[in-house]
Copies of this chain bind each other. A is one copy, B any other.
């Protein structure tokens, strides 16, 4: 079987697509807590040092380190207790040689002291005096000014998708608003004379639209906005006019082609006519998803996805999400490895083609294994019953039961 030999690999198609996709330039400024999951459009710089004052990392006593040298449980050093550093206010106390001041985690290191000895390394000998049972070195248990962040330092690079700790870190640094890339608008067009809106009851020959909803959800998860252009019948002029409008109004276009070859050919014809530089791949060496169409129009990605919802889901994950990430300017985009799991069954595959097989996670020998979901690979509920996709690489002609495989989990 040589049918896949002339097709480009997923990797090659993705790389050509990403080379041509233009990052969006428009940005918007949001209150930092609202920017969770959004992508920074520029470096965020620190305005102040963090911490802004030297503070204790432990509960104990602020001391001069040299007063503790040589101290041990057998031969403690004795220091005079001169008070306690309050929380939330300046220390307003100074530690002279032979003295110590009580301090809590986060309290300001008082003038004169240069280290903190932990509570458990001391004991109270008598009123106003402590025994030091262990030496501390200069700076020990002290967080210096700017040790976390120096003024002017880059807090977040450009292209960083904000995670909880990033939001918290910016708020802690007093950065109350942040500039993020506008969400790309991705147009979704469904085609096919047999496709009807799910509100309608299908008559014989008709099926309800599935792909628009899957694609809308994937687009949202990728951090973009989906814009629905409805279901277009198999009419060349109508499909062309809807797609042209979508490309004007949006930053990308996904066409869920009808299931027949003629519907797919019509999609390819329309895309070829309306896009510049145009089609970069027609057919990809993967299963499911071989009839995928990939094009570019003025830096905007265009995908023509097979009508089969399993193919559409797989291809959207492999190509659409990376294209959206590129538009958002997300840096790095590392090829994140999937999980390494063992597979419960032998699986055949063709060399030269990457296979993505819906699997459940099951427990075997105290570990999780990938268990292929039985059922034809073009049925949506095969995918609903799966926890992720097992990958059979292009250079393999299958995997053997018990073999370690890459598994891409469907995480919401």
Spot the interface stretch: A19-27, A62-70, A376-384: A376-384
Number of interface residues of A (CB under 8 A): 99
CA distance A224 to B156 in the complex (A): 27
Please, which residues of chain B bring their CB within 8 A of the CB of A156?
A: 384
Each complex incorporates copies of this chain amounting to 2
Nearest CB in chain B: distance from A34 CB, A: 10
Q: Which of B36, B57, B104 contacts A261 (CB 8 A)?
A: B104
The answer to the question of A368 belonging to the interface, with a C-beta cut-off of 8 Å to chain B, is yes
* Docked-complex contact A208 and B171, CB < 8 angstroms: yes
* Docked-complex contact A90 and B205, CB < 8 angstroms: yes
Spot the interface stretch: A147-155, A293-301, A392-400: A147-155
Q: Which of A201-255 contact B (CB under 8 A)?
A: 201-211, 213-218, 220-221, 234
CA distance A104 to B378 in the complex (A): 15
Given contacts A205-B91, A207-B106, contact A214 B361 (CB under 8 A): no
CA distance A85 to B67 in the complex (A): 95
Q: Which of A101-147 contact B (CB under 8 A)?
A: 104-108, 119, 143, 147
The answer to the question of A411 belonging to the interface, with a C-beta cut-off of 8 Å to chain B, is yes
Nearest CB in chain B: distance from A225 CB, A: 14
A residues with CB within 8 A of B: 32-33, 36-37, 50-53, 57, 59, 86-91, 104-108, 119, 143, 147-149, 155-156, 161-169, 171-174, 176, 192-195, 198-199, 201-211, 213-218, 220-221, 234, 258-263, 307, 309, 313, 334, 336-337, 339-341, 361, 367-368, 375-376, 378-384, 409-412
